[in-house]
């Protein structure tokens, strides 16, 4: 099965549980189980190749320009983790079916679970670090949904937020580290990065990249000082906890360290950061776990300790320690998933997780007792279970490690951690299942049905079998996974057998076991001392930090955001000008290479008019009508300037846009006051004049400097000029850019234009549904009005001009690919022709003759443009790739035919539809008040009575 399909199956299958929940809980769980089973089956199909030492790959160049490729590869390490994710995931699905109550939305649970499962599979199969980062963040988001699944519980919501905040922040740091790593190597593909150890470790950016990547791994794997989020995530349902702790989420950090081990390990920085962090986490988690009374809290801190153990082994940097880390990852997944499921069974049947309220359950729940006991003894490292094998190998690796020139420090600290680890494991057995039967259980305990204990029973069976027959069962898997971790080098000598003779590791194990029994016997007195000791509470610290950050953010936000656009603009402009000034005074400036051209009389006059109109606009901007006129003057002068500088396309576009926007804005002013209130003081206006003057002079100086110098590198305009005809089939470079080179931009712009028109329509509909409509119908003019609403001369002229204007629009449209014009300009000209009809004959007259709704014109334009773009797929070209050729139809001369014409037609229709929909929306109540009520009946006769009532009210 393709790796693409294996990675995609959980995401595809996530749809079905939610859809099938109405078919019953069994259907929902069966769909989730079937999806996971198919993905697991696809993984196992590739097992023979993996165990032969081959690497299975699947490649797809997604965004090669950015280095983001959808590449997957499967080696021994990926196979190990993917197998755990899917295999234990299948058991979790079975367990959750019988654990969750009827009140829990099971379809939602399985959807979240499969999304989380897919993100984890994506991480372990990714061959591109950018793709890995996407899946990495998806695990944080999907685990947030799973941890907060019981959203009615405050602890669940708090745990979900804490997990997302910590792992998400670490993920941001890891993104930076991965980008540095990819920049060092020159590739973002993992297979390339893993082959450049010397290049990476010789780089001056090795240490920053290492620290940032380890922050991401440590936060995800709950390493000190980020360990606190994991116990609080136990507010999630037990199936989630079992999955998080055994095969997913926290194992993602371990996977990342193991995956990057070939290129990042082997340095002093790696050893002291990773090994020390793991050692501290191992001891701290074990000590705290011994004094936790909540079953899941005890197991959560035990997970923290064992994650620290594996991190420490990877931090040692030796091949043997890497093999031991891989072996313990397997063992920990089996006994920890079984332990969490057994804790869930106890909680499900007794209605409590408080150890002090339990005891004597071995008589009432014998099956659960056997499962929990075997798993706990394996976690304690008691032979002949699998936990004993990896613990002995871990102790052996510790005795071979020197820290700060001391050969005894690491073994001594590891011995303390092993002692406390065995102690909390024994406590889990003794305080929950041993002792006399009590008569004050919250609920009557009994073993559940086979559906709940079958999955943990299967896992403890593996615990025993791996302990007795480790070489036969997991030996090949450990070998291929360890080979991937150490980079394909020769494996060190190791043995997975139980008995290695009398050695230092065995003696340390015996001491730890005896010490654990003593600690358990003294637990009551030690607990009183523990409770009396002052110690920081992680939740309190986290809440305080989040509260302080929230208060600081609120203070900064409220200080900067006071709803004053002038203030926002001033801050932004001052920042930009300051940055530009710094660049100018610290940078270098080349000598001008061009000679200025002497300005003629007309350009100077135009410049004076432009400056005068702009200054008047600033002075008289409070009068909105005058401002609008001045804006039109500025636009007209700019269009003349475009034409003077040999840019007729821009000139045509500018003047067309000015005509349309001025008319629409005049209509919009009917809904607004005619003057803007004065809100600023003289001092603030003086400040704004200074800021605007400095920034204007700076921008002008920059433009002048650019125009006076030649570029030392080819510009994009040179590319467009050289390829306009041979690449796009047109000599009008501007139009070819719009419909070919940057056609995707244009496609997005017409969509935005259509959305803007629809928003105007929706806003006017909402406004006219209020008392504003009555005001508009009955407002009195503040100046004398013409007695003739529709002058006959204007009506006659516009009727005559209508076909001429449309013919001009058609001419501009068809010639646009080779001469000034195109769909956008033609659309504006056609819209102006229609606007003239509305202005001359009135809205009611024009609306009666409207045959096609403008919404449909916008939609058809976007659809035509999209279909034209998709037509390129038929030729195996990317979306919106245009093509052209020459056609000879007798008796016509040979002429050019380009697919870009279809796209331009879509632009034309979208522009016409958007402009006319905006016009229609704004002009319904914009005619003269004297005839407003008469015309209102023409628009919507259903509102006649309503209009009369509104008139009476006003």
Element (H, E) at 657: helix 648-668
Nearest to 229 by CA among 286, 281, 163, 140: 163
Does residue 777 surpass a pLDDT of 80?
Answer: no
Q: How many residues appear in the chain?
A: 954
pTM (predicted TM-score): 0.73
Does residue 545 surpass a pLDDT of 70?
Answer: yes
The answer to whether 774 and 953 are in contact (CB under 8 A) is yes
Residue 914 has, within 13 A of its CA and on its CB side, a CA count of: 24
The pLDDT of 664-683, averaged and rounded, is 77
The answer to whether 322 and 486 are in contact (CB under 8 A) is yes
| DSSP reduced 3-state for 497 | coil
Kindly report, residue by residue over 52-90, the tens digit of the pLDDT.
888 898 888 777 777 778 889 999 999 999 999 999 999
Q: Alpha carbon of 690 to those of 573, 620, 683, 686, 696: distances in Å? A: 11, 18, 11, 6, 10
CA distance 75 to 486: 12
What pLDDT score does 787 carry? 63
The neighbour count for residue 66, using CB atoms within 10 Å, is 9
Kindly report, residue by residue over 406-435, the tens digit of the pLDDT.
888 999 999 999 999 999 999 999 999 988
- The region that residue 488 occupies, defined by phi over 0 for left and psi between -120 and 50 for alpha, beta otherwise, is left
Proportion of the chain above pLDDT 90, given as a percent: 40
Does residue 217 surpass a pLDDT of 90?
Answer: yes
What pLDDT score does 60 carry? 82
**pLDDT band (50, 70, 90) for residue 156:** confident
**pLDDT band (50, 70, 90) for residue 34:** very high
Q: Who wins on pLDDT, 331 or 487?
A: 331
Kindly report, residue by residue over 229-243, the tens digit of the pLDDT.
888 888 889 999 999
The pLDDT of 757-783, averaged and rounded, is 75
DSSP state of 678: P
The pLDDT of 120-139, averaged and rounded, is 92
The pLDDT of 661-688, averaged and rounded, is 79
How close are the terminal C-alpha atoms of the chain, in Å?
Answer: 74
What pLDDT score does 925 carry? 59
What pLDDT score does 948 carry? 40
- Helix-helix angle 76-99:25-45, to 10 degrees: 170
The answer to whether 661 and 744 are in contact (CB under 8 A) is no
The pLDDT of 155-168, averaged and rounded, is 88
Does residue 519 surpass a pLDDT of 70?
Answer: yes
**pLDDT band (50, 70, 90) for residue 938:** very low
The encoded tokens of residue 738 equal 């719009």
Dihedral (Cα; 249, 251, 256, 259), 10-degree rounding:
-140
Does residue 676 surpass a pLDDT of 80?
Answer: no
- The region that residue 788 occupies, defined by phi over 0 for left and psi between -120 and 50 for alpha, beta otherwise, is beta
Kindly report, residue by residue over 434-459, the tens digit of the pLDDT.
888 888 888 888 889 898 899 999 99
CA distance 733 to 726: 11
Kindly report, residue by residue over 598-651, the tens digit of the pLDDT.
888 888 998 899 999 999 988 888 888 888 889 989 999 999 998 888 888 888
Q: Who wins on pLDDT, 541 or 526?
A: 526
Kindly report, residue by residue over 887-937, the tens digit of the pLDDT.
767 776 666 678 888 898 999 999 999 998 888 888 765 543 433 333 333
Does residue 688 surpass a pLDDT of 70?
Answer: yes
**What does 338-392 look like in DSSP terms, one character per residue?**
HHHHHHHHHHHHHS--BGGG---HHHH-HHHHHHHHHHHHHHHT-TTSHHHHHHH
Does residue 807 surpass a pLDDT of 90?
Answer: yes
The answer to whether 471 and 397 are in contact (CB under 8 A) is no
Q: Alpha carbon of 685 to those of 321, 700, 914: distances in Å? A: 70, 22, 37
- Helix-helix angle 409-433:504-521, to 10 degrees: 40
CA distance 191 to 311: 23
**pLDDT band (50, 70, 90) for residue 215:** very high
Does residue 40 surpass a pLDDT of 90?
Answer: yes
Residue 156 has, within 13 A of its CA and on its CB side, a CA count of: 15
Does residue 944 surpass a pLDDT of 60?
Answer: no
Kindly report, residue by residue over 707-734, the tens digit of the pLDDT.
888 877 778 888 888 888 888 888 888 8
**pLDDT band (50, 70, 90) for residue 945:** very low
φ and ψ of 840, to 5 deg: -80, -45
Kindly report, residue by residue over 813-840, the tens digit of the pLDDT.
988 888 888 888 999 999 988 888 888 8
Does residue 941 surpass a pLDDT of 50?
Answer: no
Kindly report, residue by residue over 247-306, the tens digit of the pLDDT.
888 889 999 999 999 999 989 999 999 999 999 999 999 999 999 988 999 999 999 999
The encoded tokens of residue 201 equal 């470790």
β-bridge partners, 74? 56
The average confidence (pLDDT) of the chain is: 86
The answer to whether 922 and 911 are in contact (CB under 8 A) is no
What pLDDT score does 784 carry? 67
Of 105-119, 347-361, 404-418, 844-858, the poorest mean pLDDT is in 844-858
What pLDDT score does 366 carry? 92
The answer to whether 907 and 746 are in contact (CB under 8 A) is yes
DSSP state of 675: B
């Amino acid at each position: 099965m393709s790796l693409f399909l294996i990675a995609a199956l959980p995401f595809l299958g996530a749809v079905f549980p939610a859809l099938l929940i109405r078919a019953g809980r069994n259907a929902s769980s069966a769909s989730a189980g079937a999806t996971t089973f198919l993905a697991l089956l696809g993984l196992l199909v590739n097992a023979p190749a993996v165990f032969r030492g081959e690497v299975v790959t699947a490649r797809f160049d997604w965004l090669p320009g950015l280095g983001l490729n959808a590449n997957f590869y499967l080696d021994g390490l990926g196979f190990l983790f993917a197998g755990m994710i899917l295999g234990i995931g299948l058991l979790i699905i079975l367990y959750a079916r019988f654990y969750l109550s009827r009140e829990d939305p099971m379809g939602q649970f399985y959807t979240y679970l499969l999304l989380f499962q897919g993100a984890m599979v994506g991480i372990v199969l990714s061959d591109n670090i950018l793709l890995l980062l996407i899946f990495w963040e998806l695990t944080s988001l999907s685990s947030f949904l799973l941890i907060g699944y019981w959203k009615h519980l405050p602890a669940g919501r708090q745990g979900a937020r804490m997990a997302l905040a910590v792992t998400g922040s670490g993920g941001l740091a890891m993104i930076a580290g991965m980008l540095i790593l990819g920049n060092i190597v020159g590739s973002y593909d993992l297979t390339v990065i893993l082959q450049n150890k010397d290049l990476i470790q010789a780089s001056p950016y090795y240490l920053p990249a290492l620290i940032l990547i380890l922050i991401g791994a440590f936060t995800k794997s709950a390493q000190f000082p980020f360990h606190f989020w994991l116990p609080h995530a136990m507010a999630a349902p037990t199936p989630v906890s079992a999955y998080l702790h055994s095969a997913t989420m926290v194992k993602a950090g371990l996977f990342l360290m193991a995956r990057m081990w070939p290129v990042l390990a082997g340095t002093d920085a790696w050893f002291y950061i990773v090994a020390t962090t793991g050692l501290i986490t191992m001891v701290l988690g074990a000590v705290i776990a011994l004094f936790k009374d909540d079953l899941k809290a005890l197991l959560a801190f035990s997970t923290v300790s064992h994650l620290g153990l594996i991190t420490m082994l990877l931090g040692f940097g030796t091949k043997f320690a890497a093999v031991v880390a891989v072996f313990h990852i397997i063992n920990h997944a089996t006994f920890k998933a079984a332990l969490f499921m057994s804790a869930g069974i106890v909680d499900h049947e007794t209605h409590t997780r408080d150890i002090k309220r339990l005891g004597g359950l071995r008589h009432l729940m014998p099956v659960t007792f056997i499962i929990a006991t075997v798993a706990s003894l394996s976690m304690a490292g008691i032979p002949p279970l699998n936990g004993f094998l990896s613990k002995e190998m871990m102790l052996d690796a510790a005795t071979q490690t020197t820290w700060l020139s001391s050969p005894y420090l690491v073994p001594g600290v590891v011995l303390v951690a092993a002692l406390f680890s065995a102690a909390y494991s024994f406590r889990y057995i003794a305080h929950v299942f041993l002792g006399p039967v009590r008569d004050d259980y919250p609920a009557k305990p009994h073993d559940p049905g086979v559906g709940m204990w079958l999955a943990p029973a299967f896992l403890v069976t593996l615990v025993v079998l791996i302990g007795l027959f480790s070489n036969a069962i997991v030996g090949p898997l450990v070998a291929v996974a360890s080979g991937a971790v150490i980079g394909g080098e020769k494996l060190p000598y190791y043995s997975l057998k139980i008995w290695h003779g009398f050695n230092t590791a065995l003696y340390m194990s015996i001491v730890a076991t005896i010490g654990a029994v003593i600690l358990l016997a003294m637990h009551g007195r030690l607990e009183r001392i523990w409770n009396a000791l002052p110690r920081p509470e992680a939740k309190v610290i986290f809440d305080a930090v989040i509260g302080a950050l929230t208060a600081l953010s609120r203070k900064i936000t409220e200080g900067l955001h006071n709803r004053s656009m002038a203030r926002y603009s001033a801050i932004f402009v001052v920042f930009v000008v300051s940055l530009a000034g710094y660049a100018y005074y610290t940078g270098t400036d080349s000598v001008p290479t061009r000679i200025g051209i002497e300005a003629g009389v007309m350009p100077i006059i135009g410049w004076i008019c432009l400056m005068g109109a702009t200054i008047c606009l600033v002075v008289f901007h409070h009068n909105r009508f005058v401002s609008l006129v001045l804006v039109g003057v500025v636009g007209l002068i700019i269009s003349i300037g475009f034409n003077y500088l040999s840019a007729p396309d821009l000139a045509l576009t500018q003047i067309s846009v000015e005509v349309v926007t001025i008319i629409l804005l005049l209509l919009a002013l009917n809904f607004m006051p005619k003057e803007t209130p004065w809100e600023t003081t003289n001092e603030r206006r003086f400040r704004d004049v200074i800021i605007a003057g400095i920034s204007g002079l700076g921008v002008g100086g920059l433009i002048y400097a650019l125009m006076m110098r030649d570029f030392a590198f080819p510009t994009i305009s040179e590319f467009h000029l050289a390829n306009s005809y041979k690449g796009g089939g047109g000599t009008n470079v501007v139009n070819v850019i719009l419909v070919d080179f940057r056609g995707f931009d244009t496609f997005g712009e017409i969509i935005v234009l259509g959305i803007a028109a629809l928003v105007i329509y929706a806003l006017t509909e909402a406004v006219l549904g209020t008392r504003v409509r009555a005001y508009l119908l009955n407002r009195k003019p503040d100046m004398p009005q013409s007695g003739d609403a529709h002058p006959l001369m204007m009506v006659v002229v516009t009727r005559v001009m209508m076909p001429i204007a449309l013919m001009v629009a058609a001419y501009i449209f068809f010639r646009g690919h080779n001469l000034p014009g195109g769909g956008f300009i033609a659309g504006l000209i056609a819209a102006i022709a229609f606007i003239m009809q509305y202005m001359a004959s009135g809205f009611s007259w024009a609306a009666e003759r409207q045959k096609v709704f403008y919404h449909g014109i916008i939609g058809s334009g976007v659809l035509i443009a999209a279909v034209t773009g998709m037509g390129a797929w038929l030729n195996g070209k990317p979306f919106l790739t245009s093509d052209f050729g020459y056609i000879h139809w007798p008796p016509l001369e040979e002429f050019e035919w380009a697919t870009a014409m279809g796209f331009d037609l879509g632009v034309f229709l979208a522009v016409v539809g958007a402009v006319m929909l905006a016009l229609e929306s704004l002009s319904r109540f914009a005619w003269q008040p004297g005839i407003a009520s008469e015309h209102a009946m023409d628009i919507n006769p259903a509102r006649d009575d309503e209009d009369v009532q509104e008139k009476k009210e006003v």
